[in-house]
RNA sequence: GCUCCCAUCGUCUAGUGGUUUAGGACGCAGGAUUUUCAAUCCUGUAACACGAGUUCAAAUCUCGUUGGGAGCACCA
């Protein structure tokens, strides 16, 4: 059996967006599932728009998502310019391609004419039958040429798409397209075929925007008499407005999701769900499960709209599956990635882990941890009391807190259970509603009206800090009241 | 304009002629639980684009209509 080799071939003309990552992911999953190879090829033949920055960001994104490519090296097309010319010469020798001396301006005029007459543009083959002598004359007169492929103008070309089934094109709808630019650099379709051939690519898995390139590429395969790989075209990912993500929303790099605190495996899991599914509609997968279960015939042929709300849900599910220790590590790595590690430089990691455990169910993105647990670590005066939502009146608040203080000071065992008992007793003793007591204490020590389980939060904070906080709050409150 | 692709709840999808009063997930609404916020657990909400045909039987097959998308570069 032929060995399975696939490739991901981005052009470094922009950051990798979710559409690009999905293509990479499906190729990678397909390779892993079939125990094949996954190759990374950078299609940098567009000299004008390609940049090193984008190459770096593409590699960074793949590394973050751990979509590792095989052979431990990256193929750059521009490092193999000579190879394309060699192959092109082969076609000239067999007269399957010919140089064309028409200038860009001449072609422009032809195009305008075809628009005016409402017929599709096709190159008029003006240069297709020049004699060798004529070519030489044009060349010595300084005329630049491109290389065009001879395309059959009768019959049809078809291929069996692994996702969509048979797709047929009439050959007459194609013209003799350009395979080599005047500077000797190949055009996309030519370079793609040469590379896929020399890399022994067995399956070409890409976005369905390439469907109409496929017959052109088949013309090239046939000209060389090469074996044609299997093609599979997956549906596009669209934005909320139903427009293709890769164009109008192209500024959204996947690395942005990293910055926001999404987990790499969330991105992969979610993207896998866009255009692929299992019979039981399973939603949450480990990466190993994805590798094991992925198959092309479960890929959908209709486009999918990217839903950030579901992505967020999935991320919180993934986060819930982590241990507090793992999350703490992930959080630190995330701060480090964003250059914000200094924000927690005085924080005690052991306390942080406990705090994370306490608020685990509320964390949707890593970013959330910061504002969810910061009150454990900041100094009393750094605490921002959000008074706007605070409901209980001043005198009552002072009253309760003074009671609480007296009770807490004498507590030897400052564990959640004991604290709870203590505060509930206080409620009975004083006749004050327990919910009021809890509310007031919560606000005094955290500055918030929402938060983790009160008694656990107090236990973790420790007796010393809890008492100090309450005292600090009382002082602050009395000042505030006097000002009023 | 030409060519190609696509069409099930708001969104992602299951479904490949009868097992379907169309299943799951996100979302949304209501309830239970709870010291708050979450989480959790129930319950509910909502779809086969339309029209012909094939068939005893169609979301599923065929054709047409409509709608959406992509491609038509000396971009990839």
CB A39 within 8 A of CB A69: yes
pTM for the model stands at: 0.95
Question: pLDDT (tens digit, 9 = 90+) per residue, A423-453?
Answer: 999 999 989 999 999 999 999 999 999 999 9
CA pair distance A78, A25, nearest whole angstrom: 25
Does any strand B atom come closer than 7 Å to the Cβ of A305? yes
Instruction: Decide: helix, strand or coil at residue A139.
Output: helix
Protein-covered nucleotides on strand B (Cβ within 7 A): 1-8, 10-16, 23-27, 35-39, 68-76
- Per-residue pLDDT at A410: 94
Give the pair of three-digit tokens for residue A107.
Answer: 């072609």
Task: Write the Ramachandran bin of A131: left for phi over 0, alpha for psi from -120 to 50, otherwise beta.
Answer: beta
ipTM of the complex: 0.96
Average pLDDT estimate for A150-168: 96
Give residue numbers, 371 to 390 of A, with CB < 7 Å from strand B: none
Q: By the 8 A CB rule, do A253 and A59 touch?
A: no
- CB-strand contact A434/B, under 7 Å: yes
Residue A389's pLDDT band, with cuts at 50, 70 and 90, is: confident
Protein CA at A374 to nucleotide C1' at B38, angstroms: 17
Answer whether A199's CB lies under 8 Å from A144's CB. Answer: no
Q: Which of residues 46-65 of A touch strand B (CB under 7 A)?
A: 46, 49
For A229-273, write each residue's pLDDT tens digit: 999 999 999 988 776 665 444 457 899 999 999 999 999 999 999
Looking across all nucleic acid strands, the nucleotide with the smallest C1' to CA distance from residue A156 is: B3
Q: Which residue did the predictor score with more confidence, A477 or A431? A: A431
Mean pLDDT, rounded, for A127-136: 96
Q: What is the pLDDT of residue A484?
A: 57
**Count of alpha carbons within 13 angstroms of residue A130, beta-carbon side:** 21
The answer to whether residues A121 and A110 touch, using CB atoms and an 8 Å cutoff, is yes
The answer to whether some atom of strand B lies closer than 7 Å to the beta carbon of A13 is yes
Nearest-nucleotide field for A273 (CA, C1'): B12
**What CA–CA distance (Å, rounded) separates A21 from A67?**
9
What would the two tokens of residue A211 be?
A: 């469907």
Q: Specify the nucleotide whose C1' lies closest to residue A172 (CA).
A: B3
């Amino acid at each position: 059996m032929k060995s399975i080799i696939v490739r991901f071939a981005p052009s470094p003309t922009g950051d990798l967006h979710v559409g690009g990552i999905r293509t990479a992911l499906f190729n990678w999953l397909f390779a892993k599932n079939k125990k094949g190879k996954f190759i990374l090829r950078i299609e940098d033949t567009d000299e004008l728009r390609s940049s090193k920055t984008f190459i770096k960001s593409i590699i960074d994104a793949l590394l973050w998502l751990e979509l590792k490519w095989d052979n431990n090296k990256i193929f750059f097309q521009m490092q193999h310019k000579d190879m394309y010319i060699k192959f092109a010469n082969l076609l000239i020798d067999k007269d399957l391609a010919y140089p064309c001396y028409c200038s860009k301006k001449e072609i422009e005029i032809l195009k305008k004419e075809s628009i005016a007459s409402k017929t599709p543009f096709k190159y008029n083959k003006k240069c297709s039958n020049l004699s060798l002598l004529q070519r030489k004359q044009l060349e010595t007169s300084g005329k630049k040429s491109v290389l065009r492929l001879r395309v059959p103008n009768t019959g049809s070309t078809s291929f069996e798409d692994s996702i969509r089934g048979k797709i047929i094109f009439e050959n007459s709808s194609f013209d003799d397209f350009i395979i080599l630019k005047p500077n000797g650099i190949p055009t996309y379709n030519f370079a793609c075929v040469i590379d896929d051939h020399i890399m022994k690519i067995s399956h070409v898995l890409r976005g369905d925007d390439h469907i109409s390139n496929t017959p052109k590429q088949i013309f090239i395969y046939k000209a060389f008499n090469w074996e044609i790989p299997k093609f599979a075209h997956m549906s596009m990912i669209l934005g909320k407005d139903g427009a293709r993500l890769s164009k109008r929303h192209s500024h959204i790099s996947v690395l942005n999701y990293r910055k926001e605190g999404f987990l790499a495996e969330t991105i992969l899991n979610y993207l896998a769900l866009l255009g692929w599914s299992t019979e039981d509609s399973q939603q949450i997968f480990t990466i190993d499960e994805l590798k094991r279960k992925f198959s092309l015939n479960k890929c959908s042929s209709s486009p999918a709209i990217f839903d950030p709300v579901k992505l967020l849900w999935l991320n919180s599910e993934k986060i819930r599956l982590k241990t507090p220790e793992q999350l703490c590590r992930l959080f630190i790595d995330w701060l480090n990635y964003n250059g914000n590690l200094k924000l927690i430089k005085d924080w005690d990691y052991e306390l942080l882990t406990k705090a994370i455990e306490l608020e685990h169910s509320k964390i949707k993105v890593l970013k959330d941890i910061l504002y969810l647990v910061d009150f454990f670590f900041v100094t009393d005066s750094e605490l921002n009391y959000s008074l706007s939502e605070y409901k209980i009146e001043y005198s009552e608040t002072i009253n309760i807190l003074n009671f609480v203080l007296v009770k807490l000071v004498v507590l030897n065992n400052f564990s959640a259970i004991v604290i709870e008992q203590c505060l509930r007793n206080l409620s009975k003793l004083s006749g004050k509603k327990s919910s009021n007591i809890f509310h007031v204490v919560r606000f005094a020590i955290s500055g918030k009206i929402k938060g983790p389980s009160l008694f656990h939060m107090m236990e973790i904070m420790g007796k010393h800090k809890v008492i100090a906080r309450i005292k600090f709050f009382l002082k602050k409150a009395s000042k505030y009241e006097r000002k009023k």
